């Protein structure tokens, strides 16, 4: 009868280890799916940020071109050469301001893209399942030795 109890203990331990391993596999599959979804959402967010950045840059370039054209027209109408002296300095200043604003927007975009990245250190539950299986095996071995 003692042999039958030992055999039952071994079968129970084996079933418990198998259950823990299956649970670990399922947890791992769920975690992989969650990581994949998070990566897809991050890629979509980054694409939206890049599209917004491109639209802002295009708007800034159009505004700069209109401002410079208007300024040149006003200077030419007042009798000044639009490319010489203070008129040229004014156009260069407007261009530099637009470039500085573009650099600031680029820095903001880089910060937003870096924000919210998925961590590669997400737990997958494998180690926990291994520990649980080891504990179950330890209980089975101890009951066999008793």
**Using 50, 70 and 90 to split pLDDT, how confident is the model at 13?**
confident
Domain encompassing residue 82: 2-117+124-145
Burial of 56 (0-12, 13-18, 19+ CB in 10 A): middle
pLDDT at 90: 79
The per-residue pLDDT for 145 is 61
State the pLDDT at residue 1: 59
Residue 12 CB partners (closer than 8 Å, separation 6+): 140
Overall number of domains in the chain: 1
Contacts of the segment 128-136: beta carbons below 8 A, 24+ positions apart: 128/24, 129/20, 129/21, 129/23, 129/24, 129/27, 130/24, 132/20, 133/16, 133/17, 133/20, 133/21, 136/13, 136/16, 136/17, 136/20
Q: What gap in Å lies between CA 114 and CA 48, rounded to an integer? A: 14
């Amino acid at each position: 009868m003692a042999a039958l109890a030992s055999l039952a203990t071994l079968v129970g331990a084996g079933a418990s280890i198998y259950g823990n391993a299956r649970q670990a596999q399922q947890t791992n599959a769920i975690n992989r799916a969650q990581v994949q979804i998070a990566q897809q959402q991050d890629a979509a967010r980054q694409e939206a940020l890049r599209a917004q950045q491109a639209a802002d840059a295009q708007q800034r370039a159009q505004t700069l071109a209109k401002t410079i054209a208007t300024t040149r027209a006003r200077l030419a109408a007042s009798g000044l050469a639009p490319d010489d002296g203070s008129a040229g300095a004014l156009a260069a200043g407007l261009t530099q301001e637009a470039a500085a604003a573009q650099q600031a927007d680029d820095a903001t975009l880089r910060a937003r893209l870096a924000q919210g990245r998925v961590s590669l250190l997400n737990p997958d539950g494998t180690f926990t399942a291994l520990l649980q299986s080891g504990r179950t095996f330890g209980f089975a071995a101890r009951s066999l030795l008793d």
